[in-house]
Amino acid sequence: MRLLPAVLALLSALQLPGWGLAAAAAAAAAEPTAAAPRALQGPGAGPAAEVDLRDLLRQVKLERDKADVKLYEQMASAASPAALKTLQQAIGELSEQRTLNAAYGAVARFKGTPLDEKARGFLVGDILRHRREENRTAACAALTRWGVAAAEELERVVAKAEDRSQRTRAVHALLPLYAERGDLASAEEILEYGAPGGSTLAGIRKALLPVRGSKALKLYHRALKDEERDAAWRYLLLDVLASWKDEGADAVILDLLDDPDPVLVSAALEVLGNSGRSHLVRRLEPFLRGEHPLVLREALIAVTRLTQGDPYWLEDVLDFSRRREPATRMGAAVALAEIRTEPALARLYELLDDEDWRVRVEVVAQFTRLHRKELVPLLIERLDRASTRLGRDMHLALRLLTGQDHGPRSARWRAWWEAEGEAFRLPGPKVAQEAEAERQKRRAENSTQASFYGLEVVSQRVAFLIDRSGSMQGRAMLQPEDRTEKPRASTRWEVAKHQLMTVLPKLSEETLLNILFFGSDIRPWQDELVQLVPKVRDQAIEHVRKFPMGGSTNIYDALELAFADERVDTIYLLTDGEPSSGKVVDPTEIRSRIGRLNRTRKVVIHTVSVGRKSRFLRLLAEENGGLYTEAL
């Protein structure tokens, strides 16, 4: 029977008497076949090919969940009513989530075809009425592929779905529509069912930003008071309310100062400090007596900004700059740079010789921000006396101030300054930054400096954070030390260990080191940094060689534990995946929290992404003074 279409075409081509195109079409329509051409998929579908739907369905009925998941895409490729019906029948034979996801996902192939509406109707029907949760979940995942093109069906899911998780999926798919509407009802749906994190965070923020007014303020206030909400919501709503820049929003933000999370409190203090409302000073002053270093630092900066150069406040800042806690002196350094009077700057310059390296790092950062000519000789004078980490920061500050590079030692800088300093005019910050970017591009690939995946190890207070999760079993090529030999197939885990064991012998004996392997939990080699004397170096290499792998990807807890050792000033973080476990999992929230914690720690974070490109790791490095590289 399958030969009939070809015979009909041949007879038509021969133009036999009594045999016209209409007769050929009628005869073809009368042929009872389950086959349908791929050409019905539309433009770009490729050459026509027949799909035997009955045979495909027979395979699914025979093998059920063990059937090849490619069968469902083959069914959908026919793009006919029979194909959609066959897919529905196939779905009735399945029970496992994996195969249901594939089969329902194939229904999304009908998007934009004449069967679009019927496909959406089938999916929403299963979401709302199917007795099995697995089917409802897979159908909802498929429907969300339509996005706002299925707005009517998605809104029915939000209103009527049995499972909260399906309502959440639907709300996330509707975020562009909610952002366009910008109304209170949309904000209520988002706050009820939305889950900020990953790719949804930006969408939720965009949808909530235009929703304002007293009713919206009450809605956000209630959400912030809801103790069952996770911290990601509080950070997001703080960001939204900060954009309002009015007293009503400030009043709600003030309530966040009672939150037990010091990182969130510090973020709220920063927002209030930038409000310009001086009457808030009295509400912030109690935090100047706080115990958490990050909160104390942000309170000091916030009050400085709100007092707007009050001469009496300068006396208090000068007093804070002499307090025992390094974080207080760091906050005072920022405050002195904000005030910028001659007495304030004189004290800031004195802090360049502070006993704590973190205070000195903060002062150097403020020098870069001030961008004043008299800072150049101050940095040159101290360049050779600085530790490797601080020397790195001073060298960078000199480059960003002058737009030039005379090396990491003071002699050439001093000779240049003595010859040209009097007549030299600092370039604008933008010009200097562009020159620095060009220098980074021209960095030599080969270096005599010890390196980890090409990132130079210049600090002597280093922690290596190495992902040991199961995905590190993925394939990678191990480069031999002898470049005349060919790379050999290995795993990401073995390559990472090889890189670490290669760099350890090249570090000086003065180096203070720790190694933290992280999976679901964190496994530090030592409780704190230890000096890399020969015996300890051998122990470290042996520890790396024998360490087992396994678990998920707990990046935040690994960073937090490394930060707990106050002597650590540089971190090398290697992972092949996104965060998947730990106290904080969302990449954006990790960056926000680590960035704030680092305001009092001043740790440089270099990152290595293995097997993939990672926007998260790139931004984490950029925001914390480090470099990012990929081992693809």
What is the tens place of the pLDDT at every residue in 345-403?
A: 999 999 999 999 999 999 999 999 999 999 999 999 999 999 888 999 999 999 999 99
CATH code of the domain covering residue 625: 3.40.50.410
- Could you read off the pLDDT of 239-252 as tens digits, one per residue? 999 999 999 999 99
pLDDT band at 227 (very low <50, low <70, confident <90, very high): confident
With 70 as the cut, is the pLDDT of residue 312 above it? yes
pLDDT band at 1 (very low <50, low <70, confident <90, very high): very low
What is the overall mean pLDDT for the chain? 89
State residue 58's pLDDT score. 95
**Residues pairing with 37 in the sheet:** 50
With 80 as the cut, is the pLDDT of residue 592 above it? yes
Q: Which helix (H) or strand (E) holds 143?
A: helix 133-143
Residue with tokens 């026919």: 78
The SS3 call for residue 37 is strand
Looking at the structure, tell me whether residues 616 and 508 fall in a common domain: yes
> Range with the lowest mean pLDDT among 19-28, 239-248, 605-614, 621-630?
19-28
pLDDT band at 145 (very low <50, low <70, confident <90, very high): very high
Looking at the structure, tell me whether residues 599 and 498 fall in a common domain: yes
With 50 as the cut, is the pLDDT of residue 13 above it? no
pLDDT band at 483 (very low <50, low <70, confident <90, very high): low
Looking at the structure, tell me whether residues 8 and 46 fall in a common domain: no
- Could you read off the pLDDT of 17-51 as tens digits, one per residue? 343 433 433 333 333 344 444 433 433 343 334 67
State residue 290's pLDDT score. 83
Measure Cα distances from 483 to 479, 487, 497, 572, 598 in Å.
Answer: 8, 9, 19, 25, 39
Looking at the structure, tell me whether residues 24 and 127 fall in a common domain: no
State residue 6's pLDDT score. 46
Looking at the structure, tell me whether residues 12 and 50 fall in a common domain: no
- Residue 2 belongs to a domain: yes
Q: Name the pTM for this structure.
A: 0.81
- Residue 410 belongs to a domain: no
Looking at the structure, tell me whether residues 617 and 535 fall in a common domain: yes
The SS3 call for residue 105 is helix
Please state the rounded mean pLDDT for residues 614-626.
95
Domain housing 126: 34-145
Looking at the structure, tell me whether residues 112 and 247 fall in a common domain: no
Looking at the structure, tell me whether residues 14 and 111 fall in a common domain: no
Query: Which residues lie below 8 Å from residue 320, measured CB to CB, with a gap of 6+?
Result: 288, 300, 328, 329, 331, 332, 335
Between 469 and 9, where is the model more confident? 469
d(CA 380, CA 481): 39
Please state the rounded mean pLDDT for residues 91-112.
96
pLDDT band at 482 (very low <50, low <70, confident <90, very high): low
Looking at the structure, tell me whether residues 1 and 43 fall in a common domain: no
State residue 487's pLDDT score. 80
State residue 489's pLDDT score. 85
Q: Are 96 and 134 in contact (CB under 8 A)?
A: yes
CA 495 to chain centre: 24
Q: How many domains is the chain built from?
A: 4
- Residue 541 belongs to a domain: yes
* In the chain, % of residues over pLDDT 70: 90
Q: Are 448 and 495 in contact (CB under 8 A)?
A: no
State residue 353's pLDDT score. 96
> Range with the lowest mean pLDDT among 17-31, 99-113, 349-363, 421-435?
17-31
